[in-house]
Amino acid sequence: MEKIVIGIDVSKLTLDICIQENGVNRFDTIANTEKAIKSFLKQFVKRQNILIGMENTGRFNILLYNVLIQHSFAVYVINPLHLKKSMGLVRGKNDKIDSERIAVFLLKNYMDLQQWKPNSKVIEKIKL
């Protein structure tokens, strides 16, 4: 079964998303709100072989993390420096391109990456 790879570029107000399925890229932009994230993920809930990758952007990822905890997707949080080094020198940079680069990186490297696991509630309280 073919994997569906979702690369997400996270910013304060929006999530730019690249969905790679059967060799075809589809792009979407949604609000970085719990409601929008849940609505977007509904299309993938009953599917298998879903890989979701995003850069670690600190607090802007929190809403996305909170929604992803409720599902059993394979989620990978990628160090931005690692991603940048793997791509080498590239021309052009915008959120759409970044989401595609995250998806490409994830598809090539997911076997070598550690899957994201939510922090315990105690750790989350300490962070706040």
Higher per-residue pLDDT: 122 or 102: 102
* CATH number, position 118: 3.30.420.40
Residue 113 has pLDDT above 70, yes or no: yes
> Based on the structure, what is the number of domains in the chain?
1
In whole angstroms, give the CA distance from residue 56 to residue 77: 6
Cβ neighbours of residue 79 under 8 Å, at least 6 residues apart? 55, 56
Task: Note the pLDDT of residue 94.
Answer: 80
Pairing of strands 74-78, 4-10: unpaired
**Global confidence as pTM:** 0.85
* 8-state DSSP, 47: -
Residue-wise DSSP of 49-79:
SEEEEEE--GGGGHHHHHHHTTS--EEEEEP
Domain that holds residue 73: 4-127
Task: Note the pLDDT of residue 119.
Answer: 66
